[in-house]
Homo-oligomer: A and B are copies of this chain.
Amino acid sequence: MTRYKAVFAYDGSGFVGYQVQPNGRTVQEEIEKALKKMHKGDFSRITASGRTDTGVHAVGQVIHFDSPLNIEPEKFRIALQMGTPRDISFHSVEKVADDFHARFDVTGKEYRYMIDRSKIFNPFKRNFALHFPYQLNVEKMKSAAKLLIGEHDFTSFCSARAVQESKVRTIYQIEITEVDETTLMIAYRGSGFLYNMVRILTGVLLDVGQNKLGEPDILRAFEARNRESLRSKTAPPEGLYLQEVFYK
């Protein structure tokens, strides 16, 4: 058996998320279907760095899987590219050590959140960015983002449904960039992110940019350790991208 690592992108708008589910089309199922075909039915599972929700995109999702086939990696990439639908695209396939694990070996991740500030709704971006035509004080957002960086208990900044026992995570960097006149990008790099954490952080930063929340509210929320302590809405999935997964 050879262990392979693959990096791929997907447009999340046509999926009910990454992970196989009884109802609806998923990314995992499409990739496993392609691998099953390549292995004449004899293929079981792929393991990803983590899940993404319905409508959430990936630029650099990572999986590993084992295969009895010993194929040149670029040929394997092309076979996966051909075998999967056009809303999934494989960047690279490589052979890795037998003990490489796409989830357990993750040392960090980068997520990006795209915001379309056009006054008039852009139909070409409807699945790819949050439309947010309101005033935003970007400087205030940048300042508040600094409070979020570092090691914190993010209980107030994740879904109450987050299953992990420890809610302590480290954010290495939050970059807020005005990509062009109408596009704001918030890039988050961290050791790991809890369920809905990036979308909640984005909702908080948007509230700060609209003067609905101030830095003291963020400090209080860290103390409170309770999602209810912040009224900020969870930003919708269409603006969110799993940009990159980091390994040792």
A residues bordering B, Cβ < 8 Å? 9-11, 57, 81, 86-91, 120-124, 126, 128
Contacts and interface: CB of A to CB of B under 8 A. Distances in A.
23 contacts: A9-B122, A9-B123, A9-B124, A10-B123, A11-B123, A11-B124, A11-B126, A57-B124, A81-B120, A81-B121, A86-B121, A86-B123, A86-B126, A87-B123, A87-B126, A88-B123, A89-B120, A89-B121, A89-B122, A89-B123, A90-B120, A91-B120, A124-B128
Contacts of A122: 9, 89
Nearest to A128: B124
A interface majority secondary structure = mixed
A4 to B, nearest CB: 17
A121 B78 CA distance: 11
Q: How many copies does the complex hold?
A: 2
Contacts of A121: 81, 86, 89
Contacts of A9: 122-124
Nearest to A57: B124
A31 B57 CA distance: 30
A121 B88 CA distance: 9
A52 to B, nearest CB: 14
A86 B121 CA distance: 8
Given A11-B126, A87-B123, A89-B120, 14 more contacts: A9-B122, A9-B123, A9-B124, A10-B123, A11-B124, A81-B120, A81-B121, A86-B121, A86-B123, A87-B126, A89-B123, A90-B120, A91-B120, A124-B128
Which of A11, A90, A122, A124 gathers most chain B CB within 10 Å? A124
Contacts of A88: 123
A6 to B, nearest CB: 13
Residue of A10, A91, A121, A122 ringed by the most chain B CB atoms within 10 A? A121
Contacts of A120: 81, 89-91
Contacts of A57: 124
A36 to B, nearest CB: 21
A65 to B, nearest CB: 20
A51 B198 CA distance: 42
Contacts of A90: 120
Contacts of A81: 120-121
Contacts of A89: 120-123
